[in-house]
Amino acid sequence: MQILPLEPDHEAALHAFLAEFDAAGEAVIPAYFAPRDMPIEQIVEEHRAEEAGERSAPMVPASTRFAIGDDGAVLGVYNARHVLNDRLRVFGGHVGYSVRPSARGRGVATQLLRHAIDLLRGLGTASILVTCDPTNDASARVIERCGGVLKDRGYSDEHGHEICRYWIG
């Protein structure tokens, strides 16, 4: 498995990735923000601009990477925010990630989060905030496996539910 930026030649694999979430009834894919019908060239350009900090507020500079399996399949995605704004301090944190349903339970999320941590450390981020829903035991285990310590539980008015906030220091 490799973790790298999306490229135009990943188009078919990206469509299969998105279709699997749709088939599983998961309309929202954390860390994947492009509209489903956006052309891949535009997605690649949006990711480049986001990473370069060329997007306007309230967007923050962020890096999006994809886990690509040995067979070329897109297995997962992460979005690592280089800085936090007020909204991200409550919900979202520095890193969001998702793994396609058929690849869950195989360590992909752990590898994605470790890669995101390394990327953020390379940018000089000392303490990394990662949030998850209190009912998402699998994500909590991934965060803890990567050194996350539960700091508190907060409430997101925007999302209407409680959020667990972990810090990786």
CATH code, domain carrying 27:
3.40.630.30
The mean pLDDT value for 120-137 works out to: 96
- For residue 156, pLDDT beyond 90: no
pLDDT tens track for 46-79? 999 999 989 766 689 999 999 999 999 999 999 9
Nearest-angstrom CA–CA distance, 43 and 105:
28
Q: Provide the β-strand partners of residue 80.
A: 63, 95
Domain count, the chain: 1
Q: How confident is the model at residue 13 (pLDDT cuts 50, 70, 90)?
A: very high
- For residue 87, pLDDT beyond 90: no
Q: Which two tokens stand for residue 105?
A: 């339970």
| 9: containing domain | 2-168
Give me the pLDDT at residue 68, please: 98
